[in-house]
């Protein structure tokens, strides 16, 4: 009997330890190959499975995550062209986290990569080796895993995502000089564009944007998470911080990180402030239409 109890207890402890050592990310991958005709469609199922296993089964940090704490995200890959083993794609990545005391999940990242290009042969192993370039596909996926974790941590702790953003930056720097096809290198180059992977991560690690990252924390932890206790206080805290976006935009109009924030948050901001005070609506509307004029129609709904 005693041995049986020991066995049950040991099994329970093993279950707990396994659940606490779960990986950080839970990503669902969708691959759209509708633009490609006359090819083996099974290769896309194999690729989808390989990417999900790579992102979801690797350990990216030393932190302990319970299974229910894993970061929920989704990746949509649209295959635009295939030439031999070279894939030309665009990819949209979204991640989110729950808001305290509610059933609502808030978007953290909504990023579209128009140069998600890589070489791949069906059944290729996707292996990640720290500080070493293996393939462009594994490098891009690791870059995005750290980007996802960094945004999640920044939403819970001031500048909490710094170690993970630095990992993404290191990958971007390695890819600057890695041996790969020029088509694959698109998106990594420093002066190629102010709206690519390199530009985004260098915004996030730039000391000039610490105010923005502090606002990102306050938006989530002191704003959204507070709303279950006091909606007005949470909304007011977000309104107080929004001028930081305008300040960053004015100092550097081409700042990519502000665009990515608004890509994720524009609809949410409308939902928050359409129920705000007249003073909040006026101030928020002026800031958002100034820094994000392409979405004026969206922000008009604040005043409806």
Written as tens digits, the pLDDT of the chain (304 aa) is 443 333 333 443 333 334 445 799 999 999 999 999 877 889 999 999 999 999 999 999 999 889 889 999 999 999 999 999 999 999 999 999 999 999 999 999 999 999 999 999 999 999 988 878 899 999 999 999 999 999 999 999 999 999 999 999 999 999 988 888 888 999 999 888 888 999 999 999 999 999 999 999 999 999 999 999 999 999 999 999 999 999 998 887 768 999 999 999 999 999 999 999 999 999 999 999 999 999 999 999 999 8
Tell the burial category of 147 from Cβ atoms under 10 Å away from its Cβ (0-12, 13-18, 19+). Answer: buried
Maximum Cα–Cα distance across the chain: 73
Query: Quick check: pTM over 0.85?
Result: yes
51, 128 Cβ separation under 8 angstroms = no
The three-state secondary structure class of 116 is: coil
Residue ranges of the domains in the chain? 24-205, 211-303
Q: How far apart are CA 60 and CA 71, in angstroms?
A: 12
DSSP state of 80: E
25, 71 Cβ separation under 8 angstroms = yes
100, 250 Cβ separation under 8 angstroms = no
113, 90 Cβ separation under 8 angstroms = yes
H helices present in the chain, as ranges: 2-20, 42-57, 136-154, 162-177, 182-185, 197-204, 210-217, 231-241, 243-251, 256-273, 278-291, 296-299
Q: Under 8 Å CB-to-CB from 178, ≥6 apart: which residues? A: 133, 136, 139, 185
Residue 66: CB atoms within 10 A of its CB come to 11
Q: How far apart are CA 93 and CA 4, in angstroms?
A: 48
288, 297 Cβ separation under 8 angstroms = no
Q: Under 8 Å CB-to-CB from 280, ≥6 apart: which residues? A: 235, 236, 239, 273
């Amino acid at each position: 009997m005693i041995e049986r109890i020991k066995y049950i207890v040991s099994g329970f402890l093993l279950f707990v330890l396994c659940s606490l050592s779960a990986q950080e990310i839970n990503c669902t991958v969708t691959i759209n190959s509708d633009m490609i005709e006359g090819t083996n469609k099974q290769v896309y199922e194999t690729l989808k499975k390989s990417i999900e296993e790579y992102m979801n089964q690797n350990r990216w940090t030393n932190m302990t995550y319970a299974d229910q704490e894993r970061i929920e995200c989704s990746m949509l890959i649209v295959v635009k062209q295939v030439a031999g083993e070279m894939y030309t794609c665009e990819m949209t990545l979204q991640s989110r986290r729950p808001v305290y005391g509610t059933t609502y999940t808030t978007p953290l990242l909504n990023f579209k990569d128009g140069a998600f290009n890589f070489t791949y042969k069906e059944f290729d192993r996707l292996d990640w080796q720290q500080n070493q370039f293996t393939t462009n596909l594994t490098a891009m996926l690791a870059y995005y895993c750290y980007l996802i974790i960094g945004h999640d941590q920044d939403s819970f702790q001031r500048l909490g995502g710094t170690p993970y953003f630095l990992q993404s930056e290191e990958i971007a720097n390695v890819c600057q000089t890695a041996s790969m096809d020029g088509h694959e290198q698109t998106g990594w180059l420093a002066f190629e564009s102010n709206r690519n992977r390199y530009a985004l991560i260098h915004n996030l690690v730039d000391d000039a944007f610490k105010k923005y990252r502090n606002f990102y924390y306050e938006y989530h932890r002191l704003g959204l998470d507070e709303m279950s206790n006091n909606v007005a206080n949470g909304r007011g805290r977000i309104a107080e911080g929004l001028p930081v976006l305008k300040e960053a935009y004015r100092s550097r109009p081409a700042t990519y990180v502000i665009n990515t924030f608004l890509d994720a948050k524009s609809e949410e901001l409308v939902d928050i402030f359409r129920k705000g005070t007249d003073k909040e609506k006026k101030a928020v509307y002026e800031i958002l239409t100034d820094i994000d004029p392409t979405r004026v129609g969206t922000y008009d709904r604040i005043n409806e």
